[in-house]
Amino acid sequence: MSSRKTKGKTTKKRATRATSNVFAMFDQAQIQEFKEAFNMIDQDRDGFISKEDLHDMLASLGKNPSDVYLDDMINEAPGPINFTMFLTLFGERLNGTDPEEVIRNAFACFDEEGTGNRQVSCQRDATASFFRNHQRRSTPRIDDVNG
């Protein structure tokens, strides 16, 4: 840090913070959706997602998460989870994934009736077929295929 003199006093110059590029990763509609999700999770409306917020939100969905599960979720962030950190966490997870349209089209293959639902048996058969064909070519372990 550098110092400068102002009327006989020495003041320290503040270090400039690097700005996050997380907002550039998403379009405005996506950011709005994330903001709505953040607000649903931030049950106490203090601008941060806490362990208690996560518990209350999951309980409202009929879930009963363990303390270990909640701690693991909270500990994925390197600090308090405000909206910017929330976006950053999702940005890290979504980076390199296919666009939503590609994913929707892939699942549409399992929606033979066009209802917006997939047939589990159809998806199970396709997945099993994929692994059978893949094993014939390279004989990987299923764990290797899943990453």
* Mean pLDDT (10-residue bins), the chain, 147 residues: 49 43 88 96 96 95 95 95 94 77 78 73 69 55 46
Query: What is the model's pTM?
Result: 0.55
- Residue 18 is predicted with a pLDDT of 41
Residue 44 CB partners (closer than 8 Å, separation 6+): 50, 52, 53
- Residue 119 is predicted with a pLDDT of 64
- Residue 147 is predicted with a pLDDT of 46
Pick the closest to residue 131 from 141, 121, 116, 122 (CA basis): 141
Report the interhelical angle of 67-74 vs 51-60 (nearest 10°). 120
Only one residue has tokens 């102002």, namely 6
- Residue 141 is predicted with a pLDDT of 47
- Residue 136 is predicted with a pLDDT of 52
- Residue 22 is predicted with a pLDDT of 83
Three-state SS letters, 26-79? CCHHHHHHHHHHHHHHCCCCCCCECHHHHHHHHHHCCCCCCHHHHHHHHCCCCC
Pick the closest to residue 51 from 68, 38, 34 (CA basis): 68
- Residue 88 is predicted with a pLDDT of 92
